[in-house]
Amino acid sequence: MKKRYFSITAIVAVMFLVALSGYLRLQAKHDVPARVIMDNNGGRVIFTHQAHAQDYGFECADCHHDNIGQDQPLACGSCHPSAFDEKFRVEHQKTFPNDEACMRCHSETPTGPLAKEDKPDTEIIPTRADAFHNQCMSCHEESGGPYGKDSCYDCHAR
């Protein structure tokens, strides 16, 4: 009887160690993420980043319109917030790698609070949702991908 419990305990211990080692093992870093999940009012979009980059042959600059002096593209929300609110005004500069990025929207590198006349016109800078939608829809229209008002749920979750 004791032999039986010993065998079961040994098997459970081995399974536990295998599971633990799989959990603790670091994943290899991928240059291109497989998918990017974007939450929005129209329903969550699961963007197949790897397919667009590798299978369809798009270059990084086709979507990430510049790298502003760095190896990896900036997060879209660095320039295109969900809203131009106080949180964005205070925190967006922390997402840039250098002062060069400031010149995209500002005439000179801000060093403190800006006067109203020195602030960029946020009417001409699209929010993240508008930027994504315009970018995706224009590319889909040009390349024959899902496009038009009847194709929303090809990308957006219901």
* Binding-site entries for heme c: 49, 52, 60, 63-65, 76, 79-80, 102, 105-106
Distances (CA, A) of 67 to 44, 60, 97, 136: 26, 9, 10, 19
CB 80 within 8 A of CB 125: yes
Q: What is the dihedral of CA 94, 99, 101, 105, to 10 degrees?
A: 100
C-alpha to C-alpha distance for 98 and 108, rounded to whole angstroms: 13
Cα 120 to the chain's mean position, in Å?
Answer: 24
Binding residue numbers? 49, 52, 60, 63-65, 76, 79-80, 102, 105-106
